[in-house]
Structure formats: structure tokens, C-alpha cells
Structure 1
């Protein structure tokens, strides 16, 4: 037993490292798809999310999300982490697949991801201190309570709602908050004017592409680790379905956007890959390879339509976070009731109930955080700060300073 626990635990630690690596992918994607003058601001937010998210998850989040015996809606096992030691050694009775410490760290990486989704959506115009307060409250309280409803053995888990690795529990939880944020913030200056929509090209497509490839790699840990063991059959299937959905999503988005807009848009290609990954995450372990391809193909089409829809609603999402994480997260969650071994009308209904439940807590929770901030310290930087760039005004430096000798 100890030998298998060691093997399983090592796999889970590798997956934890891969999910941690995803934060670099998010950072590169966000700075690549936005303007140069806000690069440091975005990197600063991503560092804050990781550091603060882990500390909050240690102090309160882990025990909010996994409270043990509770009423199915809210429970709290206490502050901090309990020692998993027994008679001077590691308590092997905690879980047959991995240790207590590994469980905390793996789940803590997921918690930080939800806030990272919001970071990209509010890029280039949100006050840093307001974003900090949002992260503390959303990651520290809203995310773990919502997570307990399924992964903590709450009422949705008892109902039969299924979300293997977080199409809803992670991606839609971040996506709903992103939607509320961009609605309350408003669009960047010049995005919508004279009845037209103007694109703000990202300053570095190489960074954006590298970010997506890193995220794809990190999804091996995100989904592969959600097997919660190193079981060869289960992990192999999950990695195959994950990769096939990503590939199908990219191809589908590229073809749809080329047909509609008559150009080869790399940003659509990149977001199509991410849409496929988000779409397969809810049911990666119960889908066949063909199911995964179909889910990815539909997700790719959703990306193209979703980006256009967000623009038509006059909502400004610089990186497409709402489309990728919310809309494709909803699609992937519903897909569990349509494709794979769980497909059926009952399961489809359970998935709908789960989506509605998470929409409720996330919309209300994020609004109760953002709206008081808007009325008090404000959400948005001044017009001058936005025009000049947040790097200069909030950080006093540039991401790409000119080191050449300046002529007098």
C-alpha cells in the first residue's frame, strides 16, 4: 500500500507543479493580448493572485471547501491546516491516492486560477487596490464555498451534478465574476465609438502563443491530476481526451473565423484551443476520443460566436476570458449530459441545476464585492492613467525601458 501511495503521490505532485506552471501561461497570454503600456500591471496582478491565493487557501479556503460533515451548503472545519502526522510519521490513512499536504497544494493551485481569469478580463483599466480586495474576498470566501457544493460533498454532489476537473467549479466561477466586473467597469477608452467596434491589437503575439502552449501543457496536470491517482487507464484516457478537444477547438475556431472574416486570425486560433480545453474539463474522464473531438469542435465555434456576442453587447473583454472560461465552461458542463458514459436527460438536468446554482452564487458574490468598491474607492483608474498606461502611473516603471543613450 505504501508503494502505491508513493507512486500516486508523486504523480499528484507533478500535476501540482504543472498547474502552478499554468500561471506563467496565463501571464504571458494576458500581456501578449494587451498593450505594452500595461504589461507590468498585469504581471503584478498575477503574482498577487498566486501568493495571496495560496495563503488564503491555507488559512480558510481549504477548510471551507472541504469541511467534512456539513449541511451541504456551508461548513467550516477551522482555521489553518491540520497536521497529517501520526506517531511521528505521515498518516497514510488520509487518502489512498495522495497525502494531506499534496491535496492542499493541488487544490490551492485551482483556487488561484479562478481569480486569474478575472485579471485578463479587467486588464488595462482597473485600479490595483480594488482588484486586490476582490481577490482576497472571492478566492478566500466565494470560491471555496462554491467548491464545497460539489467537490466538498455538498448538495450538488448528492444531487448527481458532475464536474470532473472544473469547467464550472473553476472556469465558470471565474467567468461569472469576470462578466460582472467588465459590466461594472465599462469599456476601455475608444473601444466603442461612433457606433463601431475598434480592436486594440495585443503587443506581442509570441508571448500570447507561448502562453497558450504552456496552458495546454499545464492542463495535463489540471485534468490528469483530477483523477486523484496515477491509475494508468484513467490518466491516459484523460490526457488523450484533453489533447484531442484542444486540437479540435483550435482547428474549429480557426476555420470558422477564417470563413467569417476572410483572414487567418491567430487570436481566434489561440482562444479556440483554450475553449476546447475548458470544454472537455468537466467530463474528460467519461468521454471517448470521438466525444472529445466533437466537444472541442463545438467549443471552437462557440469561441468565434461568443467573442462577437460580447462585443455586440458593448462589453470589453481584452483577452476573451468570458467567452473562453464562462461560455465554454457552460458548454463543457452541459456536454456531460449529451456525450460520454453519463449522457442522459436526468444527467443533463443535473448539469443545468449545477450551472444555475453556480451562476447564482458567483453573480451575487462578485456583485457584492465589486459594487461597494465602485461606490467607495472606485473600480476604474482615471482617463489620464488609462491613456498613459498603468505601468507608469501605478508602478513608476516601464516593461521595456529604452537603455540606449539619449541624445541631448
Structure 2
């Protein structure tokens, strides 16, 4: 009953004189009527106060239930992204590895849930007594009541853990996925999340324990840096140390391969452990694109991930003031950036290749979503479009650089999540609007450089981005080197050539011979030789199952 003071004031200013005049005219002169009016208004005042006492906890309960419901809805949308990532990776790789790709995403998701429950949530926690580097409260969710918050934060951890899976696809042992997902979810990502989002984190823009870095902290609303750069850097070190897929860059030692072998020899005396096709067994050209086999999975996966992003970004607004306004704005900027990046990539790739490319436009759209995730709440609509436009060029340039340096990332995860995530962090330091920063974060005098806010916000973002990259590189790079050292990283050449569906899962990704893996397995059984199989488009006409078409490649 927030209006009760107005009601009582109105009663005393208008009702008492009218009540007094009425009784003096109709009954008898004197002060009795005025006293009666006062007593009447006192009773109204008492009733209003009691209603306010009852209404306050009801209002608090309603707000709490609404927040919890919003978190649950958002986390389910984010979790759906795991299915989108799995479909994207399965469609973007060769049919002979489909079962293995899907299995790795399930294993990564399950591992992240277990170890974020045991360790990760506590290390990312937001308790008052936590230090600036990492949390230390609620291991195993001990004495923690808001389970929906744990689920919400785990959905982000699972997304970060899923990113490197695409970088490692088609040549990595299953145990590698489980091991890296465990370390990333239990320790590496939670520490970064604590830095960026905890009220005690040293990088946090909402820090209340101690001062904010450069007076502002790092504004990373949905996690361009905390989630995407973390996952992208982890994937980069995995693919860099492991080396490219067989035939991706021809049967020769590339500069990166030689660097890998030199590094391995210096550290372990085991250059021979870098096990890609360095002896000339496979010669498929320099470079070979190794196209994916199913455009339908790629497009469906993209839409699943795009849909999940509306839980990722708007869902992060649940703890801000004026939530409805913030959620609406975040949803709009997220859409505009993704759309701008997708359209830009579509036309640039058309000019580069001479034809339209479905997979390229899908990755371009995701690049725009990754980029806007940091500043979606604090940039204007035109800035979101500009951010997405530049993100497309960052992705295209990253792809050219990775091919030039002969680093094989089947899903372009490194360049998409690291490159575009980093651009998203930096552009927020440039284009954060003063009014939005004040509304969402309560920060005065710290906003985008191009709005005249000085360079302190941008400086905080540069420092934060640098520290995230170094932290993840040290932790995940060391892990992948150790896995490489003990032969736990890469599968054998024979397994990679024949495909992981048959050699690891002992099954087929598709039934009734509808995949390249099925046809090649039948051919292998007749000849006794393994065949390096890929997409359906490479099959001879007589090998294609009924209803299949060679144009099924992405």
C-alpha cells in the first residue's frame, strides 16, 4: 500500500473540514464533529498501515518468485545451446565421425555439471567474505538455498566447456574431452567468472568489496570475455598442440607442426609424439577444406544456439534495476548485432568464393552474437549493428590467419569465440553509453571512450582481457601439453583415417548406409583397406544410398 500516505493526507486536508461543516449545519455547533472526523481518519490510517505490513512481504515474495522463474526460463534456453553446439559440430564435420562428435558433447556437458557442482560454483561464488581472486563458499552447494542460481551459472560454465569441443573435433581421444571439461568447469572458468561478476571480484563492475578497477571495472554483461574468450583460448591451445587433421594441410610438416615438435622435444624429448600424418601417407592437397556432411544439422544448430542466446544475454538482466527495460534493450541489441554480422558475412563470402555459403553465414551470425554479449546492455542500437558488422570481418580475418598459419579448427571456434569475444570486450570500452552504464551498473563518469568518457573503462577492459587470456593459456595450455606427453590427446592414424564411428563407437551415425561412413565401411570390408572417408558428396554415384545427393555437403 505505497499510496497510504497520500490517502491519509487527502483525508485530513479535505474530509475533516467537510465532515465538520456537515455536522455543525445539521446537528449542533461545537467541536464534537471535528473530533469525530479526526477519529475516523485515524482509523483509516491504522487500517492502511496494517495493509502495508501485509503487502510488503507479499510484494517481496512475488518479486523473488518472478526472479526465480526468470532464471529457470533463461537457464533452460541456455542449456538448449548445448544441443545446438552438438548439431553444429556434427553437421560441420564428416559423417564418419558423427557418433563420436555427439558423444563428446554429452560427455562434456555431464562432466561440467558434476564438477561445477562440487567445486566450480563455490570458486565463482559471490559471498561477502570471498577474496578478489576466487570464491570459497558453498562447496557441494552446502547451505545454499537458491538452487536455480546454481543451475543458471552452470549453464554458462557448460557453454564455456562446449566451445573447445569444436576445435578438437575428429582426431581427439574421448578421455581428453572429459579431462579438459573437468578442469575448465571446476577451476579455470569459475575463477574468471568470479573476477568478472562477483561483488568481490577484482575485475567486476559491480564490486562492493574494495574499489573497482580504474573506477569502473570490466563491463562484461553476458560473457564475451568470461565465457567466450575463456572457451576459445582453451580450444586454441588444444588444436595448436594436437596439430591438424590428416590431410588438412597436405602431407608435409608445416611451420606450426615444426614448432610443436621442437617445443615437445625441448620439454619432453619426445618429438615423435606429435602424431599427425608427417610421413606422406595421405596427400589430399594443400590445404584441403574437409567439408562437413550435413547442412541441415548446421542450420538447425545455428537456430538452436541463436534461440539460446536470448537466455544468455537477456537472462543476465535478472539482477539489474528496471529489469523490463534492460531485458528489452538487451534482446534488441543482441538481435541486431547477430543479424548484421550474418548479412555481412553472406555477401563478403559471396565475393570471395563466387557462390553463397550456408555454413559461412551461420558462423558469421554467431560471431555477431558472441561480440555483442559483453556490451548488449550498454550500447545503442546503431552501435550494435556496427559491432556485428566489424565482427564479421574479425571472423573472416581470423579464418585467413588460421589457414595461413596452418592451424586446424574444424568449427572456427578459436577465431569465432576468441577473436570476436575479444572484439566485443574492446568495443564496449569504446561505445558504452553514459546513461545505460549509469542505469545498469550505477557507475558515474566511466563510459565509452568515443562518448568522451576518457580511457579508464577501455583500460580496465584491456587489463581484464589480457589477464583472462594469460590465465586460461597457462592452465589449459599446460593441461594439453601433459595430455600430449602421455599419449592421451590424439587418436591413432588408423582410427582417424577410418573414422571414429566404427573404430571407437563400433557403430554408424546413420542407418541403412545413408552415410559416407557406411559406404566406406562396406568398401573397406571388401578390400581389407581403410579408406579416408568424408562427406557424402565425395561418394561415387553407385555408392550413394537411395534418395541421397552429392550436394549434401555444407
The answer to whether TM tops 0.5 is: yes
Contact 1:391 1:398 in 2 (8 A): yes
Aligned CA distance change for structure 1 residues 288 and 37 (closer, same or farther; 3 Å): same
Q: Which residue of 1 aligns with 2:142?
A: 82
1:171 alignment partner in structure 2: 228
The alignment status of 1:383 with 2:493, answered yes or no, reads yes
**Which of 318, 343, 352 is 2:448 aligned to?**
343
How far apart in 2 are the matches of 1:74 and 1:17? 27
Counterpart position of 1:226: 316
The TM-score normalised by the length of structure 1 is: 0.93
Give, in angstroms, the shift of residue 84 of structure 1.
Answer: 4.5
Which residue of the partner structure matches residue 51 of structure 1? 110
1:206 is matched with which residue: 288, 296, 308?
A: 296
Most deviating of 392-401 and 240-249: 392-401
Partner SS, residue 313 of structure 2: helix
2:530 paired with 1:394: no
Any conservation in 2 of the 1:279–1:296 contact (CA below 8 Å)?
yes
Q: Deviations over 1:221-266 (max 9, x none)?
A: 0001100258210100000000000100101111222222222122
- Residue 30 of structure 1 corresponds to 89
Query: Which of 23-32 and 140-149 deviates more?
Result: 140-149
Contact 1:57 1:140 in 2 (8 A): yes
Q: 1:88 maps to which residue?
A: none
Whether contact under 8 Å (2:111, 2:178) holds in the other structure is no
8 Å contact kept, 2:130–2:137: no
Partner of 1:70: 130
Please, which moves more after superposition, 128-137 or 235-244?
A: 128-137
The answer to whether the aligner puts 1:357 opposite 2:416 as a matched pair is no
Partner of 2:8: none
In the TM superposition, what is the alpha-carbon distance from 1:179 to its structure 2 partner?
0.6
| Cα offsets for 1:315-349 (capped at 9, x unmatched) | 00101101111100000000101113131221111
**Which residue does the alignment assign to 1:145?**
191
- Given that residues 130 and 377 in structure 1 are in contact (C-alpha distance below 8 angstroms), is that contact kept between their aligned partners in structure 2? no
Q: Please list the CA deviations of residues 190-248 of structure 1 after superposition, one character each: whole Å capped at 9, or x if unmatched.
A: 00027821101110011001101111110000001100258210100000000000100
Q: Larger C-alpha radius of gyration, 1 or 2?
A: 2
State whether residues 268 and 304 of structure 1, in contact with CA within 8 Å, keep that contact through their aligned partners in structure 2: no
Alignment partners' CA distance in 2, 1:403 and 1:350: 56
| Correspondence for 1:310 | 402
Report what 1:121 is aligned to: 167
Gaps of 5+ in 1: 86-99
CA contact (8 A) 1:66 1:151 kept: no
Separation of aligned partners in 2, 1:350 and 1:202: 40
Alignment of 1:187-336 (within 5 A): 187-193=244-250, 196-229=286-319, 231-336=323-428
For the Cα contact (< 8 Å) 2:121–2:138, is it kept in 1?
no
Is contact 2:71–2:152 with CA below 8 Å preserved after alignment? yes
Q: How many Å separate the matches in 2 of 1:328 and 1:276?
A: 8
Return the alpha-carbon distance in structure 2 between the equivalents of residues 303 and 33 of structure 1.
17
**How large is the Cα RMSD of the aligned pairs?**
1.7
Moved more, 134-143 or 76-85: 76-85
Distance 2:154 2:399 in 1: 30
Q: 1:78 to 1:12 in 2, by over 3 A?
A: closer
* Deviation, structure 1 residue 402: 2.1
Q: Please tell me whether residue 182 in structure 1 is matched to residue 239 in structure 2.
A: yes
Q: Which fold has the larger relative contact order, with Cα–Cα distance below 8 Å and residues 6 or more apart in sequence?
A: 1
CA deviations on 1:151-191 (whole Å, 9 max, x unpaired) are 12311123111110100100000000111001101000000
Instruction: Provide the rounded CA distance (Å) in 2 between the counterparts of 1:331 and 1:293.
Output: 14
Structure 1 match to 2:41: none
The whole-number CA distance in structure 2 between the counterparts of 1:67 and 1:236 is 26
